[in-house]
A = this chain, B = another copy of it.
Amino acid sequence: MGCMQSFRQCCDQPKNTNIRISLPAVCFVWQIAMIILFGIFIRYNGESDVHWKENNKLSNISTSDVENEFYFRYPSFQDVHVMVFVGFGFLMTFVKRYSFGAVGFNFLIAAFGLQWALLMQGWFHTLDPVDGKIKIGVESLINADFCAASCLIAYGAVLGKVSPVQLLVMTLFGVTLYSVDEYIILNLIHARDAGGSMVIHTFGAYYGLSISWMLYRPNLDKRLSCSVYHSDVFAMIGTLFLWMFWPSFNSAISYHGDGQHRAAINTYLSLAASVLTTVAMSSLFQKTGKLDMVHIQNSTLAGGVAVGTAAEFMLMPYGSLIVGFICGVISTFGYVYITPFLEKHMKIHDTCGINNLHAMPGVIGGIVGAVTAAAASEETYGKEGLINTFDFTGEWSNMVPSLQGAHQAAGLCVALCFGIGGGIIVGCILRMPIWGDAPDDQCFEDELYWEVPEDEESILPVVDYGNHMRNKAENDAHFSMEQSRN
């Protein structure tokens, strides 16, 4: 840690925040690279290719049009899409003068990340051995959105303190790490993780927290990151769309039929329980029982994170409620005590509190998944159900639930290692003084990277009076108020 410290200091040099060369260059070069790589590698898969019906006939599959994978997953895909772009984007608009950055950079890095994710995940998962092409369909789009989501989670830790170029670099490495991590956890270790408690949330959150630790700014004025009334209402748009569509997130890539059905029910219940315990805890921590918007905006979602891995298992409705109950409590507790602790003693500043919303609930989710898997019995699942749910097929046909539980736990450890290790390495890269990040006193301030409209006119009558006179009148008004109160 001493060496980290010195590395940090050597990188602290005067800031050049002009990104007129670097940002366009990265975007253009990257987009051109994507076009070339997509041209070489990416094709439609069997269900999105124009030969679908012809091939079905040739194979003597008499299938209805409605059995195209599209109809199983497209509504869930759209919900996930809303979570990624509106949910994560608006959740971060709470910072009073960083709403453009929250929703705009969220937009940028999601659109950037999903393209790279289609390639990376394609190479690992859907590469056709015959023609060497990646075949994509609606499930690929969902997975690409998931991968982008993990980078957006990481963004939450560094919100307001990094430049868009840094975000793109962070996303580039994040997607790469995610894809390797996911391949190891799901394919090599054979852990199950339909809702991504480990793969998406644990990885993404520790990746972001580690980067934030590497980029620690000791002199940052945190008051700049506080909210105003309207920005808190905007953030609730993000909260609610995340909350409502989380059942789709956790069920989007589950098995057809009862798998997706059950995942949606479990998530729905867990989230409902989170809301009640979050409200209870938030009220309990204030002298007069007032609620804190930060908790309502974030901790209510913890139940969805924590039920991710086990959502498709036979967690049982009451099991889901218990998970949600615990996570609402822990997450709110985290906002009150752990975030300040991390800031003060660990030098980790976590703008959106992703430690409370994604990291801790993600780890809990991994543990719940491991326990639920280990406890699975043929009595509960049936013979076929056990095989389907845990995919005990092919080389894994000899697996038993207790061993599966151990594999789940191993998967969690891998996610932690990739998150923390990857974050430290990428954090080092991001400390280089070439990325155009903001000086301490201009953090959480859109002015730096955005053309910001002047705001006064929204308030005062929309006429072009002499500005000087207005201020005088305003002062008079304030003065007379003062008077009237005495």
Contact = CB atoms under 8 A, between A and B. Distances in A.
A213 interface: no
A315 B146 CA distance: 25
A317 B42 contact: yes
Contact of A48 (B258, B279, B459, B460): B258
Interface string A234-274: 10110011011101100000001110111011001101110
A449 B138 CA distance: 45
Contacts of A230: 230, 458
A44 interface: yes
A104 B300 CA distance: 11
A455 B462 contact: yes
Given A86-B240, A466-B484, A466-B485, A384 B53 contact: yes
Nearest to A241: B86
Given A99-B229, A453-B228, A243 B85 contact: yes
A75 B70 CA distance: 11
23 contacts: A28-B277, A30-B276, A34-B321, A48-B262, A50-B388, A51-B381, A54-B382, A64-B64, A70-B260, A74-B75, A78-B245, A99-B229, A103-B240, A107-B240, A111-B275, A164-B291, A293-B453, A465-B484, A466-B484, A470-B480, A473-B478, A477-B478, A483-B486
Contacts of A447: 462
A483 B484 CA distance: 10
Please indicate which of the listed interface residues A115, A292, A380, A468 has the most CB atoms of chain B within 10 Å of its own CB: A115
A481 B476 contact: no
Assembly stoichiometry (copies): 3
Given A275-B108, A477-B476, A284 B20 contact: yes
A128 interface: no
A47 to B, nearest CB: 6
A444 to B, nearest CB: 9
Interface stretch (A89-97, A355-363, A393-401, A413-421): A89-97
Contact of A104 (B75, B103, B237, B296): B296
A467 to B, nearest CB: 9
A389 B50 contact: yes
B445 A461 contact: no
A132 interface: no
A27 interface: yes
A322 B33 CA distance: 11
A32 to B, nearest CB: 8
Interface in A285-303: 286-293, 296, 300
Contact of A65 (B108, B257, B275, B383): B257
A75 to B, nearest CB: 4
Nearest to A473: B477
A194 interface: no
A112 interface: yes
Interface string A48-81: 1111111000000000111111111011101101
Given A35-B318, A291-B451, A466-B484, 18 more contacts: A24-B289, A31-B273, A34-B321, A65-B256, A69-B261, A78-B244, A96-B462, A100-B293, A292-B451, A293-B450, A455-B461, A456-B459, A459-B459, A463-B485, A465-B485, A469-B480, A473-B477, A480-B485
A342 interface: no
A486 B482 contact: no
Contact of A68 (B81, B258, B265): B258
Contacts of A385: 50-51, 53-54
